[in-house]
């Protein structure tokens, strides 16, 4: 790679980093998932070499193989960093243009055979290259830049990378598979990147299809003497299977102690900030038996977390699953309560569309609870469309839960 290409690559990496930093400062926390996770995975690919010889040779295409491990950390929905280690091999043979050249046993290229020297025609030679690569990848999910796709299960990634690459080549004859020259194990720097498309199959399991090119510094990796071509690349396409094992960070739950008088005066349903999980535990100090009995008859406030939605989305996102489990726990702890789920939208779009979307959001929360064992008869839903009183659009797109009826447990 010449100096201008190197400058262009480093400039591209720098611009991508600036875009990520800028986006990280502008994104509203309510718009993105709070999954800051570690992940590991397996990868397997088909590498092709492009050097003096070429995997797409004059005789045939020589497909290689590689396998390896990778692991890293996802900082947010846009930016992640991982390291990889892979091992494999690829084959290369003479290009269409150059089958008439002759390789002497001194490792040099000649236009015609040299008298008194053992040698072989390029057309009867191929190179087998063993590769080991250790890389560091900066992954940028392009879908994370758009509010409508930031929570999507799909991802489209650009991944500039730097590698430490070890290669060892041997040159063999095509007829007879006889080894005629053997290169040394050589370590070199690799610069390049991948383009990948991924899909999160479950909360933990993801699959990615990738393709990328890596430029190798130093001498030709195929152990064939260099002539007018200075190419030295590895192109690889393959599959990655990843497993996420980190969890979202939760805020510490607040425990509030109130007296019976404060229970009566307290108004239900205060505003809850996005991502807050608040549990109210009522404790009643020791009093005379009559007052304690009266306190039991009072309504014990139960605070449900608010479920938020990205723009034009009616399904529950991964960022809200922990809060759904909180609602599920409260429903199980209080089997005598019935709840009302109210869906809301922001002020974008027509009234008719927002009425439908708000009801669909409430229905999604209801379906999730029913699927996890809550009786559907305990849940009422309604959609109220646009919330004209909420100026923050990220808080307007929500489903609120409140107790609609309570029967004393027998």
Contact indicator for 370, 376 with CB cutoff of 8 Å: yes
Number of other residues whose CB lies within 10 A of the CB of residue 31:
20
Phi-psi region of 176 (alpha: psi -120 to 50; beta: other; left: phi over 0): left
User: Rounded to whole angstroms, how far apart are CA atoms 6 and 14?
Assistant: 12
Q: Residue 176: is it exposed, middle or buried by C-beta count within 10 angstroms (0-12/13-18/19+)?
A: exposed
Which pLDDT value is given to residue 68?
97
| 385, two tokens | 């469309």
Which pLDDT value is given to residue 405?
67
Which pLDDT value is given to residue 31?
39
Which pLDDT value is given to residue 268?
45
What contacts 24+ positions apart, CB below 8 Å, involve 354-357?
Answer: 354/385, 354/386, 355/383, 355/384, 355/385, 356/383, 357/312, 357/314, 357/383
pLDDT in tens, 269-298: 444 444 444 444 444 454 445 454 444 444
Which pLDDT value is given to residue 111?
87
pLDDT in tens, 323-356: 999 999 999 999 999 999 999 999 988 999 999 9
User: Rounded to whole angstroms, how far apart are CA atoms 235 and 214?
Assistant: 6
Coil, strand or helix: which one is 321?
A: helix
DSSP for 82-140, please give it: EEEEEEEEEEEE--GGGTT-EEETTS-EESSPPTTS-EEEGGGEEEEEEEEEEEEEEEE
Which pLDDT value is given to residue 12?
56
Contact indicator for 357, 314 with CB cutoff of 8 Å: yes
Residues (pLDDT < 70) of the chain are 1-36, 227-229, 246-300, 405-410
Q: From the CA atom positions of the chain, what is the Rg in Å?
A: 32
pTM of the shown model: 0.56
Q: Go through the domains of the chain in sequence order and give each one's CATH number.
A: 3-89+130-168+187-244 (2.40.160.20), 260-406 (3.30.1330.60)
| 195, two tokens | 């383009």
Number of other residues whose CB lies within 10 A of the CB of residue 253:
12
Which pLDDT value is given to residue 247?
54
User: Rounded to whole angstroms, how far apart are CA atoms 100 and 124?
Assistant: 10
| 319, two tokens | 């960022």
Contact indicator for 279, 254 with CB cutoff of 8 Å: yes
Comparing CA positions, the residue from 236, 189, 192 lying closest to residue 217 is 189
Contact indicator for 128, 98 with CB cutoff of 8 Å: no
User: Rounded to whole angstroms, how far apart are CA atoms 141 and 197?
Assistant: 9
Contact indicator for 104, 118 with CB cutoff of 8 Å: yes
Which pLDDT value is given to residue 24?
42
User: Rounded to whole angstroms, how far apart are CA atoms 74 and 176?
Assistant: 50
What contacts 24+ positions apart, CB below 8 Å, involve 352-361?
Answer: 354/385, 354/386, 355/383, 355/384, 355/385, 356/383, 357/312, 357/314, 357/383, 358/383, 358/384, 358/385, 359/383, 360/314, 361/307, 361/309, 361/314, 361/397, 361/398, 361/399
């Amino acid at each position: 790679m010449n100096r201008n290409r190197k400058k262009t690559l480093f400039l591209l990496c720098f611009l991508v980093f600036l875009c990520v930093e800028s986006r990280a400062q502008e994104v509203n926390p309510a718009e993105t998932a709070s999954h800051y996770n570690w992940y590991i995975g397996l990868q397997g690919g088909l590498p092709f070499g492009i050097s003096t010889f070429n995997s797409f040779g004059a005789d045939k295409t020589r497909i290689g193989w590689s396998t390896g491990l990778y692991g890293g950390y996802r900082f947010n929905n846009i930016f992640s960093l991982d390291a990889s280690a892979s091992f494999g091999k690829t084959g290369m043979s003479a290009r269409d243009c150059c089958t008439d050249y002759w390789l002497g046993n001194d490792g040099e290229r000649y236009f015609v055979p040299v008298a008194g020297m053992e040698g072989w025609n390029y057309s009867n030679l191929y190179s087998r290259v063993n590769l080991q690569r250790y890389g560091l990848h900066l992954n940028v999910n392009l879908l994370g830049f758009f509010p409508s796709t930031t929570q999507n299960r799909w991802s489209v990634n650009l991944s500039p990378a730097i590698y430490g690459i070890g290669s060892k080549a041997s040159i063999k004859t095509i007829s007879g598979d006889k080894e005629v020259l053997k290169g040394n194990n050589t370590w070199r720097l690799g610069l390049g990147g991948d383009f990948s498309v991924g899909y999160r199959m479950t909360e933990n399991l993801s699959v990615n299809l990738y393709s990328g090119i890596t430029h190798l510094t130093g001498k030709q990796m195929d152990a064939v003497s260099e002539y007018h071509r200075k190419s030295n690349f590895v192109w690889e396409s393959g599959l990655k299977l990843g497993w996420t094992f980190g969890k979202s960070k939760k805020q510490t739950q607040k425990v509030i102690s109130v007296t019976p008088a404060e229970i009566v005066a307290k108004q239900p349903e205060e505003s809850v900030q996005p991502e807050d999980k608040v549990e109210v535990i009522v404790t009643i100090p020791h009093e005379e038996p009559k007052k304690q009995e009266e306190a039991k008859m009072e309504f014990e406030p139960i605070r449900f977390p608010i479920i938020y939605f990205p723009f034009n989305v009616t399904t529950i996102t991964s960022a809200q699953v922990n809060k759904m489990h909180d609602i599920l726990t409260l429903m199980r702890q209080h089997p005598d309560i019935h709840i009302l789920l109210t869906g809301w939208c922001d002020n974008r779009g027509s009234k008719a569309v927002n009425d439908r979307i708000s009801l669909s959001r409430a229905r999604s929360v209801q379906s999730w609870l029913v699927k996890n064992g809550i009786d559907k008869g305990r849940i009422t839903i309604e959609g109220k469309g646009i919330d004209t009183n909420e100026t923050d659009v990220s808080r307007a797109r929500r489903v609120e839960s409140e107790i609609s009826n309570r029967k004393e447990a027998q």
